[in-house]
Structure 1
Amino acid sequence: MTETPSFRSYVEKILDALAADPERTVIEYETRQMGAKTLRTLIYTLARAMADEGVRRGQTVTLLSGNLPEILAARYAANLLGCRVNYLYQGKSARTQAAIVEDVETRVLIADPRMARRAAQITEMASVELLFTLGPAPVGRDLLELAARQSQQPLTSSARAQDVCLLRHTGGTTGHPKAICRTYGLLNALPQLVDLDHGQTRCRFLLCTTLAHMAGTLADQALEAGGCVVLLEDFDPATVLATIEAKGITELFVAPGLLYQLTDHPDAAHRDLSSLTHILYCGYGASPARLADALRRFGQILVQAYGQLETGIVTVLSAHDHGRPALLRTAGKPLPDREVVIMDSSGRHLPTGEAGEICVRSPTMMDGYWKRPELTAEVIGDGWVHTGDIGSLDQEGYLTVMDRLKDIIIVRGGCHVYPTELEDVLNAHQDVLHSAVFGVRDADGREQVHAAVVPVAHSAVSEADLHQRIQEHLGPMYLPASLTFVDALPLTSPGKPDKDLLRGRVRDDAV
């Protein structure tokens, strides 16, 4: 991407929005409120404090934190200096996090004081030159204290369009992470998925999942649009519903499984949720039956997005599209500047209706994987991002995502079982709230179908009932070797069912 003199990073645009109305509240967290002037000042002083410690453009700053307002300011400050920022996902071991820290050449680790012990463990295993905490802690130096000594005057951005802005990790890692490089110029090209202009009523975005994932980008867009971000530390359906009512939330982002939890919670029936204008969901394929339940509960305000860290958002199923039940299994249509084709294993473009690998070209494609040129060439060597997802396009251009290539279960005889198909059948049962289907190899090396099912409380649904339903709708090939009832599905930090953990449970039970 060529540099232009007029380039302004996303951080500068947010700073402009904060300066335009300095007295308004822009972040709410627990009982705290942070005004636009306070946030703007904090960004500048944090950046100056880091610069005084020798932090410069092109260095890596890694963040270890919950959803604190200060960690959002720290990201903006690091990006103002032209640094690349890397988040550590929660739920990973210290060893895995240390491997990521080492791999992305972290110079600075900024930690939530509540995670001081984990920060100490990481820095024992990885070489980090500077350890800061956002408040007093038994390790590192208090970056907020250092910032308080700095001038509050604006600081010119050092970022360039072609510089790496964010490093986002995808998949698991035990030694060599797969980090996706996203540049400052790419971030400027990200689409606004919902209309945040509410006239006299400013948008109020509720962030109840990790800042390290898509919710962080949506927070950026809300602040740039002149809105307010309400931060929760994690997702709890009762708390989310109460917060929507109490805070007049207009926008909400959740993964499909979390949307189901909101739909099913008894408080959803009597909370005043009329302020909501959009519920954006994405992360993995949603169940049409469960989406129909959500539409009955919340109205036609659902918006689905499909994409990957490698591609950015590719397709959107609009709120209007949700009014057509036949489209609820789709992921919507490609955005105007996205190209989507379906290819077979030889790279041949397949015709409408045929299933194959979803391949994408877009202005928000990643530059590549960090220090993985061979993998980068494999994924985007022909100019298309090969997503690893299986899907098809219909006559109207709507994309149906069937499954991940790696998640397809190849059973005896070489037949393919698509987990999403089986999950749809299970989720459509009146006594099933959620399900996850996955493959596990048995002692003979054959892959077997397994399912974990969350039943409606106090229901009498049995394994035999669900087996009969599967037999009727999909046939015996889809019958799982085990079908386990669970109180809840384990979720990853971004809110996806943790199928690796579920596979581990099946393997442990087989020992």
Structure 2
Amino acid sequence: MIDGLTMSNVVKRAAALFPTNTAVIFGEREYSYSEYNQRVNRAANVLKGLGVNFGDHVAILGRNSVEYLEVCHAAGRVGAVFGALNWRLSSSELSFIIADGDFKVLFVEAGFQSVVAEALADLHNISLVVFGGDLTLDGAQDYVALHDAAASSDPCVVVSSSDDAMIMYTSGTTGQPKGAILTHGNICWDAVGYLTYMAPKPYDCALVSMPMFHVSGMHIVTTSMLVRGRPLVIMPQFDPEQACRLIQKHRVTIACILVTPLQLLLDCPGRKQFDLSSLRRVITAAAKYTTKFGVRAKAELGLERLHMAYGLTEAAPLVSITEESGQMLAKENTLGRPVWYLDVRIVDDNGQEVAVGEQGEILVRGPNVFKGYYKRDEMNAEVRQNGWLHTGDIGYLDSEGYLFFVDRKKDIIKSGGENVSSLEVEIAILRANPELAEAAVVGIAHERWGEAVNAFVVIKSGQSCETDQLISRTREYLAGYKLPKSVHFRDNLPKNGSGKVLKRQLRESVAQNEK
């Protein structure tokens, strides 16, 4: 155990090593590492003043901001557990998470006070603090006033790498959300992964554009840049043109942008009016991508490297990553090799390791694997077995140790006695039909086939596509039993806050239409 591996120490040591370096840029506000460390101290003392003790849970609801990040680090400084809530959720969804997470204090961005008022209608004994605007929420206190009045001294709470740091509620695409508990060690080891494969240069500057309620915003790049005393440019939420503007203004060199928003950036009508030549590395992640996408992103953005990664909340999140752009171009849909400190196995339904190239469930073991789900003992017994995290993802390793994702175990469609990967069908549909912007495939109960392959597609603006045409073209890439039995054209696909398609809602929409 290395007790120095805590989120608080990352900030504290960066302030000691790089006191005058710029730490955070948010709008017109800019703080050095020394100033940011003092802000974290003040926020930590605000928590102490609100009665937050070691092990208590505190949460925040809001878009990315300086306050968001400093409250996270402040919670770590006093040994509290930080919960990042998805601001896109409804009041009833928030109510469930707030109650389930046993949060003692809730920080609320001013624009979300009304939804919080609804969410807390049946909940009591929660201290409320509002930031980023005028206070209108009954019983709440103003963050600026509390922060300004708090001491800037370190509260000096002993926190270790094995202590709980964060509770991050998973997307709940297959059921009620569940809170994944990450320790300080989990998060710091994750940063070690990025420092290994994406070591920052002295001139590097990172764009934080993915939502901080998700691992892609809170962990990827963020902590590793803090370790090395580099600046973070924080966007409240992703907007392709604003991202271009910030990259140009601050000469951003590194960014984590998931595949869907990266596609929006590439397609942004105003992109070419901005100077993006400073951008040298982008790390992205998605279950599916094409070589064409990788070539386009690297060429049009002038990148030195485009990294494709695989991860999940329960691994804080990094599991594997491509080191060179050529790897993702030569091995389409590879997610790179496992991070050096991780063990990865592929097993069958009986838990036996399968041969190279054979598909099975991806299992992960290492220092970044989470502690477990909060108050979910039965689920933890299934997900964590003998030190191995059962990801619920189907994949395989090739002869060179590269990892490939096939599908979510629950998204495999069993049709006519055959297993059909929904992801494989989605990739084929998009490859065969360039008029489409998005595609999602699910299995729908069918009297004859058991499950029938159903495709939900979104057509690009100004384009057209017919069902027969779509299926005919896709037939060139897939066996007949994998082809969609039905195609549903939609204006958009339902997604959660991290951009994942909510396939459960798609299945339910078909069931409702058949009633």
Return the TM-score normalized by structure 1. Answer: 0.91
Number of the residue aligned with 1:244: 247
Number of the residue aligned with 2:263: 260
Question: How far 1:100 sits from its partner (Å)?
Answer: 1.3
- The secondary structure found in structure 1 opposite 2:400 is coil
The answer to whether the Cα contact below 8 Å between 2:396 and 2:405 also exists between their aligned partners in 1 is yes
> Is residue 2:318 matched to residue 1:313?
yes
Number of the residue aligned with 1:278: 281
The answer to whether the Cα contact below 8 Å between 2:173 and 2:504 also exists between their aligned partners in 1 is no
Distance change in 2, residues 1:228/1:502 (3 Å): farther
Question: How far 1:285 sits from its partner (Å)?
Answer: 2.9
Question: How far 1:443 sits from its partner (Å)?
Answer: 8.4
Counterpart amino acid of 1:417? V
Which of 2, 11, 29 lines up with 1:14 in the alignment?
A: 11
Distance change in 2, residues 1:460/1:53 (3 Å): closer
1:75-90 mapped onto 2 (5 Å cutoff): 75-90=72-87
The Cα offsets for residues 32-70 of structure 1, whole Å up to 9 and x where unpaired, read as: 333434322221111112212321111000111111211
The Cα offsets for residues 371-410 of structure 1, whole Å up to 9 and x where unpaired, read as: 1122111111232211111111111011111000101111
Q: Distance in 2 between matches of 1:508 and 1:143?
A: 45
Q: Distance in 2 between matches of 1:192 and 1:392?
A: 21
Question: How far 1:444 sits from its partner (Å)?
Answer: 8.7
1:92-241 mapped onto 2 (5 Å cutoff): 92-134=89-131, 136-139=134-137, 140-172=140-172, 177-190=177-190, 191-193=192-194, 194-199=197-202, 201=203, 203-214=204-215, 215-217=217-219, 218-241=221-244
Distance change in 2, residues 1:305/1:270 (3 Å): same
The answer to whether the Cα contact below 8 Å between 1:207 and 1:232 also exists between their aligned partners in 2 is yes
Q: Distance in 2 between matches of 1:174 and 1:112?
A: 29
Which of 317, 326, 329 lines up with 2:330 in the alignment?
A: 326
Q: Distance in 2 between matches of 1:38 and 1:504?
A: 50
Counterpart amino acid of 2:206? F
- 496-505 vs 328-337, which deviates more? 496-505
Distance change in 2, residues 1:364/1:15 (3 Å): same
Number of the residue aligned with 1:362: 366
- The secondary structure found in structure 2 opposite 1:450 is strand
> Is residue 2:388 matched to residue 1:387?
no
Q: Distance in 2 between matches of 1:508 and 1:293?
A: 40
Question: How far 1:19 sits from its partner (Å)?
Answer: 4.1
Counterpart amino acid of 1:423? E
1:24-103 mapped onto 2 (5 Å cutoff): 24-103=21-100
The answer to whether the Cα contact below 8 Å between 1:12 and 1:157 also exists between their aligned partners in 2 is no
Unaligned runs of 5+ in 1: none
Number of the residue aligned with 1:451: 455
The answer to whether the Cα contact below 8 Å between 1:99 and 1:174 also exists between their aligned partners in 2 is no
Number of the residue aligned with 2:502: 498
Q: Distance in 2 between matches of 1:177 and 1:486?
A: 26
Distance change in 2, residues 1:127/1:88 (3 Å): same
State the aligned residue count.
Answer: 504
Question: How far 1:8 sits from its partner (Å)?
Answer: 4.7
Q: Distance in 2 between matches of 1:457 and 1:131?
A: 43
- 213-222 vs 20-29, which deviates more? 20-29
- The secondary structure found in structure 1 opposite 2:37 is helix
Q: Distance in 1 between matches of 2:493 and 2:242?
A: 19
Counterpart amino acid of 1:156? C
Q: Distance in 2 between matches of 1:249 and 1:487?
A: 34
Unaligned runs of 5+ in 2: none
Alignment RMSD, CA only?
2.5
Q: Distance in 1 between matches of 2:385 and 2:253?
A: 41
The answer to whether the Cα contact below 8 Å between 1:269 and 1:297 also exists between their aligned partners in 2 is no
The Cα offsets for residues 313-367 of structure 1, whole Å up to 9 and x where unpaired, read as: 1111123444x63312111111112111111111111010111111111111111
Q: Distance in 2 between matches of 1:296 and 1:270?
A: 17
Distance change in 2, residues 1:87/1:445 (3 Å): farther
Q: Distance in 1 between matches of 2:414 and 2:210?
A: 34
1:395-474 mapped onto 2 (5 Å cutoff): 395-411=399-415, 413-429=416-432, 430-441=434-445, 446-474=450-478
- The secondary structure found in structure 1 opposite 2:314 is coil
The Cα offsets for residues 436-468 of structure 1, whole Å up to 9 and x where unpaired, read as: 222233689943322233334433443322211
Return the TM-score normalized by structure 2. Answer: 0.91
Q: Distance in 2 between matches of 1:128 and 1:287?
A: 50
Q: Distance in 1 between matches of 2:499 and 2:476?
A: 31
The answer to whether the Cα contact below 8 Å between 1:63 and 1:109 also exists between their aligned partners in 2 is yes
> Is residue 2:376 matched to residue 1:372?
yes
Q: Distance in 2 between matches of 1:454 and 1:319?
A: 32
The Cα offsets for residues 180-215 of structure 1, whole Å up to 9 and x where unpaired, read as: 11112222222342434223x1x2211222111121
Q: Distance in 2 between matches of 1:297 and 1:427?
A: 21
> Is residue 2:491 matched to residue 1:475?
no
Counterpart amino acid of 1:138? T
The answer to whether the Cα contact below 8 Å between 2:10 and 2:226 also exists between their aligned partners in 1 is no
1:339-358 mapped onto 2 (5 Å cutoff): 339-358=343-362
- The secondary structure found in structure 1 opposite 2:476 is helix
Q: Distance in 1 between matches of 2:373 and 2:32?
A: 37
